[in-house]
Amino acid sequence: MVPLAYDTRQLYLASVLTSARAAMVAITLLYMSSLRTARSSNQEHDAADERAVVAKGLVK
């Protein structure tokens, strides 16, 4: 039979590992969403630049 202290320690370690994994997932999701936002912003600037070039070409 396994001592109760061992079971408690195992449960505690499992809880800590689960919390650490959840924190890593949350941080990763926040990081990825910030990258996606930055990328979208850059794409909008690129599209605006392209429209400006086309508009200049049409004005000539």
What is the separation of C-alpha 12 from the centre of its chain, rounded to a whole number of angstroms?
Answer: 28
Q: Kindly report, residue by residue over 26-39, the tens digit of the pLDDT.
A: 998 888 887 766 65
* pTM confidence score: 0.47
Give the alpha-carbon dihedral of 18, 22, 27, 28, to 10 degrees: 100
Q: Kindly report, residue by residue over 42-52, the tens digit of the pLDDT.
A: 667 777 888 88
> What is the structure's pLDDT at 24?
92
Query: Rounded CA gap, 46 and 37, in Å?
Result: 14
